Structure 1
Amino acid sequence: MSDSSSSEQAQQGTSTSENIKSFVSGGAGGIAAVLVGHPFDLTKTRLQTAAPGTYTGAIDVVKKAVARDGITGMYRGVVPPLLGVTPIFAMSFWAYDMSKVLIYKLTPNRTSKELSVAEYAAAGFLSAIPTTLVTAPVERAKVLLQIQGQGQGGPQYNGVFDVVKHLYKEGGVRSVFRGSTATVLRDGPGSAAYFAAYEVTKKLLTPAGSSPSDLNLGAVIIAGGTAGVAMWSIAIPPDVLKSRIQSAPTGTYSGFFDCARKTIAQDGVAALWRGLGPAMARAFPANAATFLGVEASKKLFDKYF
């Protein structure tokens, strides 16, 4: 959503208007991502959390979900990300822009006006930290709603507010935020790869003498899709553990590493890559939609405000 040639804009991006632009554009991108990617996400989560033998693969998950609930079954659990997606993505893209501003301020004597790949990655990592405050509870509710249709025991929820109410009653704020550590361990490195890959791809697609901000939407789609693939290439193992921690009955795991140990002991190391197929299938279209929404929103803001 930002380009390597706009270092002055990044350094001056602390203005209220730029903050609002980053925040709202990120939210628009997130809504686009959910609408495109939720069926893939549901398939991934069910593969990650189901008992061995429940499904033969991603296609089997889809067939059983559609047979049970119709095509709308592929959007089970979509309300939590839709309700949370605006603050999650809005905060992520805002925090990314603010992290770039911070890097510029911490390096006043820099020799290059452009951030390096490592600096883009650092800004991406930092953006995941405040975002977790929203991501963790939203994903906790989403996971519980997603697994509800696959025949597992436990409470049956009427919707996202029923989930949150039950979780709070069960264990207070701590229960609502279960999986926060796993979320940071997934989204920190994942966001580093995500934003760095986006910036690098945009730069590679920019003709000599042009600015990345002038790229057409087709190039934005390619860069956004590449960013998604880069993120999920490294994010699946912590995502598997996050899904298991957030969906398991209270007391099943004492923490992230206990979940990793028990998962490997019970299902083998390969279990840490469950859901890789749906995640990678989702990565390109969902994140292409994300950055398309972000860039289109920013251009709209630039035109009218």
Structure 2
Amino acid sequence: MSTEPISSSERLITSLFAGAIAGAIAKTTIAPLDRTKINFQTQNAQFSFREASYFLAKTYRQNGFTSLWRGNSATMARIIPYAAIQYSSHEQFKHLLRVETNAQKKAKPHRSFVAGSLAGVVSTMATYPLDLARARMAVSHHDKYHNLLEVFIKTIREEGAFSLYRGLVPTVLGVIPYAGSSFFTYETLKRLHYDYYGLNEPHPTLRFCFGAVAGLIGQSASYPLDIVRRRMQTHRGYTEIGILGTMKKVVLEEGFIHGLYKGLSLNWVKGPIAVGISFTSFDIISNFLRTVVYQPFVSSSSHPQR
């Protein structure tokens, strides 16, 4: 097996593939919980695990088991390019900001946070209309939108093309602490493991735990802005009053905790699972591509038999 370091372009290609697969696996796993969260985020209704369970049961009884994954096709259309761009751009930002060596990480830990935040912003800007379409499919009846394309057509026809970017500002503001703290926490925990165990790679179970902690911190850091973006994405009237106006309206009508942190407890369940699966899958798949598949192929191509 080749141990030669891969080039920047090879790292980009492998991180694109690994990120796409990791994102798809993670989001499909927690899709029913994601739909439940969005439903409560966009409604003036009290959240509890009992009510969340009732929503899942009611959805199953009325529309069948597969309805729990309604909107997942839109999620896949978004998350595959989103995760591919996020992970690959994170790799590039880590290189540009020089956070790849242990010594630099210890001396400049904020660079890991900045690299994660920039990766989140780039991927969010590139795929935002797909996120809005996914949210609308998740909270609407199946008769309103039959597929992803219909969401775009009806939204543009009824509200204009710019409505596809409704809620973009709070989303970008929210992804900065979310992506930054998630990547920073995961990378820091891996570095601490390296400092203690040397060259030993973390076990997949341990990687999942690191990712779960990262997801828990990231979700908690940005959740109120997640509430704001969902309201602006799925309800008319919120875009006009802006981020602060939306927050004020939610707090006045539903209370500070019950309004801006509605569904956070559910996110503490699904978020760590999703982020843990995503980070673990990315590490395993990218390492496989770089050491088992890609390098031997490159090595044999570079050194043909005579």
1:112 alignment counterpart? 103
Equivalent residue for 2:83, pick from 79, 89, 95: 89
Equivalent residue for 1:296, pick from 269, 278, 284: 284
Cα–Cα, structure 1 residues 188 and 54, in superposed 2: closer, same or farther, change >3 Å?
closer
Cα–Cα, structure 1 residues 57 and 253, in superposed 2: closer, same or farther, change >3 Å?
farther
- Do structure 1's residue 126 and structure 2's residue 126 form an aligned pair? no
Shift of 1:177: 1.4
**Number of residue equivalences:** 287
1:215 alignment counterpart? 202
1:173 alignment counterpart? 161
Cα contact 2:93–2:119 (8 A) shared by 1: yes
Equivalent residue for 1:137, pick from 126, 129, 138: 129
**Given the two structures, how large is their TM-score scaled by the length of structure 1?**
0.86
Shift of 1:51: 2.8
1:3 alignment counterpart? none
2:219 alignment counterpart? 232
The percentage of aligned residue pairs carrying the same residue is 22
Equivalent residue for 2:70, pick from 69, 72, 76: 76
Cα–Cα, structure 1 residues 209 and 285, in superposed 2: closer, same or farther, change >3 Å?
closer
1:256 alignment counterpart? 243
Cα contact 1:202–1:219 (8 A) shared by 2: no
Cα contact 2:14–2:286 (8 A) shared by 1: yes
Equivalent residue for 2:261, pick from 273, 293, 299: 273
**Given the two structures, how large is their TM-score scaled by the length of structure 2?**
0.85
- Do structure 1's residue 20 and structure 2's residue 9 form an aligned pair? no
2:171 alignment counterpart? 183
Cα–Cα, structure 1 residues 95 and 54, in superposed 2: closer, same or farther, change >3 Å?
closer
Aligned partner of 2:35: which letter? L
Equivalent residue for 1:44, pick from 26, 37, 47: 37
Cα contact 2:41–2:263 (8 A) shared by 1: yes
1:101 alignment counterpart? 95
Shift of 1:113: 3.5
Q: Distance in 2 between matches of 1:229 and 1:277?
A: 10
Shift of 1:251: 6.2
Cα contact 1:228–1:287 (8 A) shared by 2: yes
The Cα RMSD (Å) is 2.6
| Runs of at least 5 residues in structure 2 that lack an aligned partner in the other structure | 295-306
Cα–Cα, structure 1 residues 69 and 205, in superposed 2: closer, same or farther, change >3 Å?
farther
Shift of 1:80: 1.1
Shift of 1:98: 1.6
Q: Distance in 1 between matches of 2:54 and 2:240?
A: 28
Aligned partner of 1:281: which letter? V
| Runs of at least 5 residues in structure 1 that lack an aligned partner in the other structure | 1-8
Aligned partner of 1:104: which letter? R
Q: Distance in 1 between matches of 2:237 and 2:148?
A: 19
Shift of 1:21: 1.3
Equivalent residue for 2:273, pick from 285, 288, 294: 285
Q: Distance in 1 between matches of 2:239 and 2:165?
A: 16
Shift of 1:140: 0.7
State the 4+ residue runs in structure 1 displaced beyond 4 angstroms.
Answer: 53-56
Q: Distance in 2 between matches of 1:35 and 1:277?
A: 20
Cα contact 1:198–1:223 (8 A) shared by 2: yes
Cα–Cα, structure 1 residues 231 and 265, in superposed 2: closer, same or farther, change >3 Å?
same
Partner deviation per Cα, 1:142-193 (whole Å, 9 max, x = no partner): 111111149xxxx811111100111122333311111111111111110011
Q: Distance in 2 between matches of 1:147 and 1:209?
A: 47
Q: Distance in 2 between matches of 1:37 and 1:54?
A: 18
